[in-house]
């Protein structure tokens, strides 16, 4: 059960026109943004089996539980993860993904209300949560989770913005709801107040100097300000952690955590879901009260966000605290090695060329090419001179 995949490329406006072709020679004949390459069975962009052009979900459905394995078939009933390559040229919206219970309730409610799947005000496209892992292929920058209150206070004191800075520095703002209060107050500024904030912000962005924290936030905000001149979301780097991943580094994003991807090429593995609630930096539908309802307002220290890989025998495993997926990066050698399956897998070649073998079937993958491995294969061998990413359950 080895099936080479043909995958959908999503032309979202923020996508890069060149990164996928530079990375893997993927052509871009129409010169459109190539934002995301999707590997999986999500109906918004499903992979097909290269040889027969069948949908991957059909191939899996024909052989349940064989294709998924007993565990995955029983717990999920389908391929439980979606594997993507992200090519981020312009920042994505500030967003949050719901947890499992609220995704189920929200999906049921919006379906009962008769909201069409593609209605702009629809939040829940499926009844699933969407924890995410990001693995950088080039330097990759993002916002992830709230800064500590002390950091926010330091930044806001230096930026000294009308309405905003006083909120964080006010004596009475000491309670456990202070992050939520601050976020809601900033999002509730009226257009007059926003114009005053932007005036002060632009003056501050034009200056230089200050602490490392201030310099970093200033450089991060500048391009956001250019792209979204009327969006108060440009202040997000004052509240959220700025994270830089080097190639080969990864981070995890919990449900109910505000985040935004800003630039770079990366892999992303997530639960099979497309549920997004947006808070800003986007022309798409924004619903602040929904975002507040689905966000945990606590600080995540920046140093705790990156995942620590477990390394063994040329395999780097990045442990994640969810059952929906696992993720590892493999460096094959000239000798054949064997891997044992736990459930279904998708293998993606990141560079070089790698051959996968099961009994008499040999399939070679070069950069950007991917393979579905059904669970009943039980094992496969691999060999080559490249790098392989492995998303599995």
357 is catalytic: no
Residue closest to 81 by CA, chosen among 393, 355, 305, 309: 393
Q: What is the DSSP string of 335-380?
A: S-EEEE-SS-EEEEEEESEEEEEETTEEEEEETT-EEEE-GGG-EE
Which candidate in 178, 278, 339, 390 is catalytic? 278
Residue 97 to residues 22, 135, 191, 238, 244, Cα–Cα distance (Å): 31, 19, 28, 21, 21
Find how far residue 169's CA is from the centre of its chain. Answer: 33
* Spatial CB neighbours of 281, under 8 Å, sequence gap ≥ 6: 91, 92, 93, 94, 224, 227, 228, 231, 233, 234, 236, 260
Chain centre to alpha carbon of residue 33: 18
Give the distance from CA 121 to its chain's centroid.
21
Q: Are 277 and 260 in contact (CB under 8 A)?
A: no
Give the Cα separation of 14 and 35 in Å (integer): 7
Closest to 88 (Cα-Cα) out of 134, 28, 148, 29: 134
Q: 190 in helix, strand or coil?
A: coil
Rounded to whole angstroms, the Cα distance separating 348 from 351 reads 9
Contact (Cβ atoms closer than 8 angstroms) between residue 275 and residue 44: no
The DSSP symbol for 18 reads S
Report how far residue 136's alpha carbon sits from residue 110's, in angstroms, rounded to the nearest whole number.
35
Task: Tell which residue, 31, 9, 8, 36, has the closest CA to residue 18.
Answer: 31
* 282 phi and psi angles, rounded to 5 deg: -160, 145
SS3 content of the chain, % helix, strand, coil (to 5): 30, 30, 40
* Angle, CA 279 vertex, CA 141 and CA 236 arms, to 5°: 45
Structure token digits, residue 123: 């939040």
Active site residues: 278
């Amino acid at each position: 059960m080895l099936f080479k995949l043909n995958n959908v490329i999503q032309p979202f406006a923020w996508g890069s026109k060149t990164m996928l072709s530079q990375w893997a020679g993927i052509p871009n004949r129409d010169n459109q943004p190539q934002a995301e390459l999707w590997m999986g069975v999500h109906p918004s962009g499903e992979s097909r089996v290269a040889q027969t052009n069948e949908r991957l979900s059909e191939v899996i459905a024909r052989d349940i539980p064989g294709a998924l394995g007993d565990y995955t078939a029983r717990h999920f009933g389908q391929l439980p993860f979606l594997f993507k390559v992200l090519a981020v040229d312009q920042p994505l919206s500030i967003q949050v993904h719901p947890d499992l219970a609220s995704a189920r309730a929200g999906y049921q409610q919006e379906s009962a209300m008769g909201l069409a799947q593609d209605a702009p005000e629809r939040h829940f496209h499926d009844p699933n949560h969407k924890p995410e892992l990001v693995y950088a292929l080039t330097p990759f920058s993002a916002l992830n989770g709230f800064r500590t209150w002390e950091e926010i206070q330091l930044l806001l004191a230096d930026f000294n913005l009308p309405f905003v800075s006083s909120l964080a520095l006010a004596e009475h703002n000491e309670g456990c709801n202070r992050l939520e209060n601050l976020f809601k107050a900033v999002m509730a500024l009226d257009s007059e107040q926003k114009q005053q904030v932007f005036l002060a912000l632009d003056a501050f962005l034009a200056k230089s100097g200050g602490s490392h924290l201030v310099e970093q936030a200033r450089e991060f905000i500048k391009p956001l300000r250019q792209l979204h001149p009327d969006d108060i979301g440009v202040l997000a780097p004052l509240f959220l952690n700025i994270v830089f991943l080097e190639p080969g580094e990864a981070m995890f994003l919990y449900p109910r955590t505000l985040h935004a991807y800003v630039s770079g090429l990366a892999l992303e593995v997530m639960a099979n879901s497309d549920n997004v609630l947006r808070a800003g930096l986007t022309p798409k539908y924004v619903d602040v009260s929904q975002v507040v309802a689905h966000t945990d307002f606590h600080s995540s220290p920046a140093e705790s966000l990156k995942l620590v890989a477990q390394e063994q025998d040329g395999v780097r495993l990045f442990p994640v605290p969810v059952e929906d997926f696992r993720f590892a990066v493999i460096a094959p050698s000239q000798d054949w090695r064997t891997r044992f399956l736990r459930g279904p897998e998708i293998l993606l070649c990141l560079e070089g060329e790698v051959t996968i073998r099961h009994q008499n079937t040999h399939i070679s993958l070069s950069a950007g090419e991917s393979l579905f491995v059904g669970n009943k294969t039980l094992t496969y061998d691999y060999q080559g001179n490249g790098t392989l990413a492995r998303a599995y359950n």
